[in-house]
Structure 1
């Protein structure tokens, strides 16, 4: 997997998590969801450096 592929995958995961939270499928009040989203956002930021 190239870095570009990894960035694209991470962006997709972050967007999907955010969309599911906005749709009420996932509850952002749930600490596990917050941690997962934050980890993927951090991972994405590291990949973009």
Structure 2
């Protein structure tokens, strides 16, 4: 039984870290949108120069 609980805690920790990382990612995208003053969907449509 203790092995099952330890495994469940490990799985829960992975999910907690995953959702925390998603929040950081979404926050960074929001900050990027504010800096460039465009929604992310519009940034992909801009004809920016390609790097070689």
TM-score by length of 1: 0.51
Which fold has the larger relative contact order, with Cα–Cα distance below 8 Å and residues 6 or more apart in sequence? 1
Q: Which residue of 2 aligns with 1:27?
A: 38
- Structure number with greater Rg is 2
Gaps of 5+ in 1: 33-49
Task: After TM superposition, give the deviation of residue 31 of structure 1 in Å.
Answer: 7.4
Aligned residues: 31
CA-based RMSD of the aligned residues comes to: 2.4
Q: Does 1:13 align with 2:19?
A: no
Gaps of 5+ in 2: 1-12, 45-52
Give structure 1 regions of 4+ aligned residues with deviation exceeding 4 angstroms.
none
